[in-house]
Structure 1
C-alpha cells in the first residue's frame, strides 16, 4: 500500500489516479495446472483488523491442488480465485484497529483458503506469527502450517513416549514434520510409508526408524503393529491400515491427498471390534488461532535453533506456479515447493 500524500489525501501518492497493480496467480479454469494464469490485480489494502504483507515466500500445499482441480467447488470456491494459504514476508501497512508496531516486522501468515499466490497479501492479524531473526521466509512457509497439523495430529491420537508410530505418506511437508515430532517425542519406533528407497533414506535422517512400501509392508525388523497411525493420504487404501494397528491402537487422518476413503470403510473397524481400535480425523480449523500460534511460534524457535528441519523440494518464481503444480500432481515432491515473488 502506498503512503499517504498530504497534498493529495484522497489518493496515496498517485496524483494521476492510476491504479497500482500486483502480480498474482489465478485459477482461470478448473482442471489441470494449465488452468492457472499470471495476471495483474489491483494492489490490495488491509481492511480493519488486517495487515498487508510484502510477500517473500509462498508455500505450495495440497489444498491448492484441490482448489485448482475444482474438487472444492461444491464448498463455494469459484474459478478466478487466487490459490495459496500461507505466505511469509514483511508487514508494510495495517488496517484500522491493528497495532502499528507490526509495520516492518517479518511474519508468517495464513491467508485463508486462497489469496497467497500474489506479490502483496492481506491477512487477519490473528492469523500472523512473528518470525525469529534466524528463520528465513522460505523455512517459515515450509514449517508454518505443516508443523501445527503434525503436532495436533499426534496429540489427537493421544501419542505418548515409548509408543510406536506409523506415518502414512511421509514424504510431504506434514509427514516430514510428523516424523520429526514423533522422534523428538520419544517414540519407540517411527515407521514411514513412501515410494522409493531414496526417500526412505532421507526420512531416516529425519528420525524414521523403518521404511515401508506404500501398502505398509516391508521394512526389516519393522513392528508388525503400531499404537498410532497418522494418515495423510486417505483414499481407497486407507481401511487396510486398520490392520496395522495393535489392540487399542489409534488412527488419525489429517489429509486426503488420494481423495476420500470408501464409503464403507467403517466396516473394517467393526470387523476388528475386539481390538478396541479408534479412528478420528483432524483439521487445524478446530483449534483456536491463539493455540495454533503458540505451537507455531515454539516450532519456529526450535527450527531457528536447528532442532527442527525444513525440507524444501524446490524454489520457483511465482510465475512458475504451473510447473510447480505439475510436480505436485506427479507425486515428485519431497517436502515443499516454495514460490518466490
Structure 2
C-alpha cells in the first residue's frame, strides 16, 4: 500500500511517498481502507521533529484520523464491522496511508449523509473544541476569544461558542477575507493576530481558547477579564516562553486561570458520544465541516506546505 512517511524532520520536503506492507489488524483492531485522511496542525508539529522525545521518530507514518470501509478485523472483534463505513482514530499515527489499523474502541459508524472528507474534518477538531470550552467552564452569556480561529479546531470552537450562547465570539486571524468567513460561522468581532482591532470588540474576555501558543501567548493574559480562563489546545506556533507564568502572577488580583487540554484525557466513550452528536448535526446542516481542499495522498508535501504557509482555512483532506 501507499503511505506517507517522515523521512527526515524539518520542512514538508522531508515527507515521502513509500510502499509499505498492508498491515494486519491485531486483537481488538480493525483494518480500514481509507476514503479520506485528515491533515491537522499536530501533524506538522510531529513532522518538524518537535515531538521526537515522545516517540515520533523519523520513518513515522503521520495522520491520526481516517475514514473509510472496514475490510478486516482482528481477534475478538465482531465480524459485522466488515463492510461498514467508519471514522477511525489511529492515535499515535499511521493514518496517512491507503489502509490503517485502528482499535475497535476508536471507530464510529458514519451516517449515510456524512462524507468521509467531512468526517475527518469534524472528527477530532469538533471533540477538542467541545471539551476545551467545557474545560474553560464556559457558560451562556460569557465572552469568548478564539486565537488562531481559521484552523480546524478554531472553526469548530467559533461555531460551538456561538451556538452555546456566547455574548460575543471574537477571533484572531490573518486577513479580512478569513474574518468574513468566520463571521458567517458565528464570530462577532475579528481581530488581527496580536489581538488588536475589531470595532466594538470587548476589551476583555471570560474565556480564551488558544490553538497557537508561541512567544506571544503571555500577552493574551492581558485580554482576560477578572476570573477569566485561558485553555491552550495546540502549539502550532511552538512552545510559549518558559517564564510565561510570571505574567499571570503579575495579575494575581484578577484571579486568572490557565490550563491545557488534550482529548486524550477524555474516555473514548464520552468522545464518541459528542462526536456522534456532531456528525448528526452536520448531516442536518446545523454544524459546518469546513474542508479547505481535497488532495491526492501523494500530494501530502503540498498539503503540509500550505499548512506551514498559513493558507489553510478549516482542514485539508487527503484521498488515497
Equivalent residue for 2:176, pick from 179, 193, 197: 197
Alignment of 1:31-42 (within 5 A): 31-42=10-21
Using the alignment, how far apart are the partners of 2:51 and 2:232 within structure 1? Answer: 18
Q: Does 1:329 align with 2:308?
A: yes
Residue 252 of structure 1, CA deviation:
0.5
* 1:32-181 correspondence runs (5 A): 32-181=11-160
Aligned partner of residue 51 in structure 1, secondary structure: strand
Q: Distance in 2 between matches of 1:134 and 1:262?
A: 45
Partner SS state of residue 42, structure 1: coil
> Larger relative contact order (C-alpha < 8 A, sep ≥ 6)?
2
Distance 2:209 2:15 in 1: 32
In 2, distance between residues paired with 1:68 and 1:238?
A: 23
Offset at 1:85?
A: 0.5
Question: How far 1:69 moved relative to its partner?
Answer: 1.2
CA distance in 1, matches of 2:220, 2:45: 24
Instruction: Give the CA RMSD over aligned residues.
Output: 0.7
Determine the C-alpha separation between the residues in 1 that align with 2:106 and 2:222.
Answer: 39
In the other structure, the counterpart of 1:284 is 263
**2:188 aligns with one of 209, 218, 229:** 209
1:28 deviates by 1.0
Cα separation, 2, equivalents of 1:245 and 1:77: 35
Give 1:233-252 correspondences, 5 Å limit. 233-252=212-231
Q: Distance in 2 between matches of 1:85 and 1:261?
A: 24
* Structure 2 residue 216 is the aligned partner of structure 1 residue 263: no
Q: What stretches of structure 2 of length at least 5 have no aligned partner?
A: none
Q: In 2, distance between residues paired with 1:133 and 1:63?
A: 29
* CA displacement 1:109-152 (0-9 Å, x = unmatched): 01122101111111000111111110000000000000000000
Deviation at 1:87, TM superposition (A): 0.4
Answer yes or no: is 1:340 the counterpart of 2:319. Answer: yes
- 5+ long unaligned stretches in structure 1: 1-21
Distance 2:92 2:23 in 1: 17
TM-score for the superposition, normalised by structure 2: 0.99
- Point out the structure with max Rg over C-alpha: 1
* Secondary structure at the counterpart of residue 308 of structure 1: coil
Per-residue deviation at 1:309? Answer: 0.1
Q: Distance in 2 between matches of 1:200 and 1:98?
A: 46
CA distance in 2, matches of 1:155, 1:68: 30
Aligned residues: 320
